[in-house]
A and B are shown apart, each in its own frame.
Chain A
Amino acid sequence: MKILVIEDNVELLQDIQNFLEEEGNICEIAPNYKSAYDKIGFFPYDILIVDISLTDGNGLDIIRAVKRENIDAGIIIISAKNALEDKIHGLEIGADDYLTKPFYMTELNARIKALYRRKVYRGNREIFFNEIKIKPESYEVFVQDQLLNLTKKEFDIIHFFVVNKHRLLTKEAIAEHLWGDHIEMADSYKFIYTHLANLRKKIAKLGGNNYVQTIYSVGYKFTDRE
């Protein structure tokens, strides 16, 4: 998919670009309002990632322009402001999602993929990882075409893993994905650990491989690479 990232911090801009390109996307960048405005007028994008506070303008104006000119692109706001009004306002004028800084790249990735699936495939798209098949719209996971019996949180975990395959997922990133950033409990890490163990067992029972690698004290990786 084709993504435009609008963010005034060049370092962060490049980090996001690198990450998204590694994920196999075409990613263009705009460090300010003007270049962003020029780009959305000329090229079609699937997803726009918009920082609200830009040095030469407001990201919300870009969203308004996109909506005014009927450009069909999914919009994710990334903002340093963690204010509910900003979030509501952003979503009201037509943004699809709102992510508060600091965010994990893996979280941004999951949000982009979910948005893209909703927009382009109307949600009807299965995600494959070797013998594992995920149907996000019905919260179902199949291992070698057999339905895996999962709790809601277990589904969220495996979905998050598969979307961010081969990536390190820190336990903080997983906890944030599952509960939002206001949960800061040591218990949540234990919870993740226990549920991952359950998940492995359930997948193994249906003849699936164990793709979860534990990175010592840091987190996990879902990968079939060594």
Chain B
Amino acid sequence: MKLIKKTNTYYLFFLALLFPIMLGVDYYVIQYTVNYEVEDILLHEQQRINYHLAENKELPSSNYLMETKALHSNKNLLGVFRDTVIYEAYADKNVPYRLYSFTATKGELPLRVTLKHVLLEINELIWWLFMGTSFILLLLGIGFYFINKKIYTWAWNPFFENLSKLKSYGVTQEKPIHLKSSKISEFEELNEVVTTLMEQVRKDFQNLKEFNENISHEIQTPLTIIRNKVVLLLGSGNLDKKELKLMQTIHQETNKLSKIGKALTLISRIENQEFKRLDSVDLCAMVTNIVSNMEEIIQFKKLQIDAKLDTVVIECDHVLADILFTNLVKNAVQHNTQGGFLNLQLNQEKFTISNSGEMPEVEMERLFMRFQKGNPAKDSVGLGLAISQKICEIYGFRLVYERNAKTHSFSVFFQ
């Protein structure tokens, strides 16, 4: 849930909770004020009546006067307020009144005077209060919403800008990340923490990458020396058959080491996304070219080729496409039986290459893992399929292996 939605929900929730409370408080405050005003008017009227009685000895005319009652005893009753409803014929309903009864003196006689003042109708009061409060709350709500929205875009702006920077940042980039600074101290703190963290990760990654590159490059020069010395020894003519065999083993293992180094560099370069070009690769031409490069070996193994290649153009790095399809074709040729078959099929959906061959000794799931070899006796290092898999991964292709009795097939599904 987005922050703005979350905060707005909270606002709404609290407004809903506050609404009846505010209504209640409003009601009592207004009622109290109105009563107080009414009482004030009645008390004022009492004073006027008392004054008039003292001066003129008779009751003045009053709009508030309800009734007078002569008292027989001369006990001085205190003024009393009370509420009542009186039927008003003109409105055909009971109307609420505030009454005030007090004792005045007319001549020598005590007189009980009751004054009345009409009160606001309670139902109407509640209704208007409800409407008024609702209206205020609605205004408040709308105001909050827009203010919140404004604050959200304004105050959180550096945060979102940095977020999108972080999203597009990868540790493979060589430049350190620069986050937008903010006047808000929490964001500034977050920026510092994130920058430090990212810098650490980036440095570690660069170090690892350099180490990988260096090690596979640096071994190549010593390997050149070892191999050339071995070839010199092999060619010296002074070695007997047993020694020749030993030297030959060193020679072969040196080759293997060099190939492992090269293959691992390639894998890490693919993983580091160093192949970023998007060429339009004509797969039909590419596959045809790869097959013709291996033509002699294919003829030599007397393989029956059946190729159904449509013109397919995909967007990817030319180098990687070449590595991928060379690996697959090479695999199919290498693991083929003498006089076997080689079927190639290319259409918009997929590329499939199947060949005759013996069952590989490795389980199907493990075939794509590094250093897994279908046949341990063969002179390969077992990285070809791991590389092919990596290449497929970065372009979202699916590499599928199927086999039955004597047929193996690899398919690359485009998208």
Binding site for B on A (CB under 8 A): 9, 11-12, 15, 19, 53, 80-84, 100-106, 151, 153, 167-168, 170, 172-173, 179, 181-188, 190-191, 194, 215-219, 221
**Contacting residues, chain A, for B220 (C-beta < 8 A):** 80, 100-102
| Distance (whole angstroms) from the CB of A185 to the closest CB of chain B | 5
Interface pair A9/B231, CB less than 8 Å apart: no
B153 at the interface (CB under 8 A from A): no
CB within 8 Å of A: which of B288-317?
293-294, 296-297, 300-301
Interface pair B300/A102, CB less than 8 Å apart: no
Tell me whether A104 and B333 are in contact in the complex, defined as CB-CB below 8 angstroms, given that A168-B234, A187-B300 are known contacts. Answer: no
Interface pair B244/A215, CB less than 8 Å apart: yes
Q: Once the chains are docked, how many angstroms separate the CA of A101 from the CA of B219?
A: 9
> 7 closest Cβ contacts across the A-B interface?
A168-B235, A102-B224, A101-B220, A80-B220, A80-B217, A102-B223, A191-B300
**Contacting residues, chain B, for A191 (C-beta < 8 A):** 296-297, 300
Interface pair B297/A187, CB less than 8 Å apart: yes
Contact residues of A: prevailing secondary structure: mixed
**Contacting residues, chain B, for A216 (C-beta < 8 A):** 241, 244
Q: Once the chains are docked, how many angstroms separate the CA of A215 from the CA of B217?
A: 32
CB within 8 Å of A: which of B215-255?
217-218, 220-225, 227-229, 231, 234-235, 241, 244-245, 247-248, 251-252, 254-255
**Contacting residues, chain B, for A84 (C-beta < 8 A):** 319
Tell me whether A9 and B245 are in contact in the complex, defined as CB-CB below 8 angstroms, given that A182-B326, A218-B234 are known contacts. Answer: no
**Contacting residues, chain B, for A106 (C-beta < 8 A):** 231
B403 at the interface (CB under 8 A from A): no
**Partner pick for B244 among A83, A103, A184, A218, CB 8 A cutoff:** A218
**Partner pick for B251 among A80, A105, A151, A172, CB 8 A cutoff:** A172
**Contacting residues, chain A, for B228 (C-beta < 8 A):** 12, 15, 19, 104-105
Q: Once the chains are docked, how many angstroms separate the CA of A215 from the CA of B230?
A: 14
Please list 14 pairs of residues, one from A and one from B, whose beta carbons are closer than 8 Å in the complex, sorted by A's number: A15-B228, A80-B220, A82-B262, A82-B266, A105-B231, A151-B296, A153-B296, A168-B234, A170-B234, A172-B255, A183-B330, A185-B297, A185-B334, A218-B244
Q: Once the chains are docked, how many angstroms separate the CA of A16 from the CA of B381?
A: 29
Q: Once the chains are docked, how many angstroms separate the CA of A188 from the CA of B225?
A: 25
A154 nearest in chain B by CB position: B296
Tell me whether A104 and B231 are in contact in the complex, defined as CB-CB below 8 angstroms, given that A172-B255, A216-B244 are known contacts. Answer: yes
B265 at the interface (CB under 8 A from A): yes
Tell me whether A80 and B225 are in contact in the complex, defined as CB-CB below 8 angstroms, given that A172-B255, A187-B301 are known contacts. Answer: no
B2 at the interface (CB under 8 A from A): no
Q: Once the chains are docked, how many angstroms separate the CA of A191 from the CA of B379?
A: 15
Interface pair B218/A80, CB less than 8 Å apart: yes
| Distance (whole angstroms) from the CB of B331 to the closest CB of chain A | 10
| Distance (whole angstroms) from the CB of B237 to the closest CB of chain A | 8
Q: Identify which of B220, B254, B379 gathers the most chain A CB atoms within 10 Å of its CB.
A: B220
Q: Identify which of B224, B227, B266 gathers the most chain A CB atoms within 10 Å of its CB.
A: B224
Interface pair A190/B224, CB less than 8 Å apart: no
Tell me whether A190 and B227 are in contact in the complex, defined as CB-CB below 8 angstroms, given that A167-B235, A172-B251 are known contacts. Answer: no
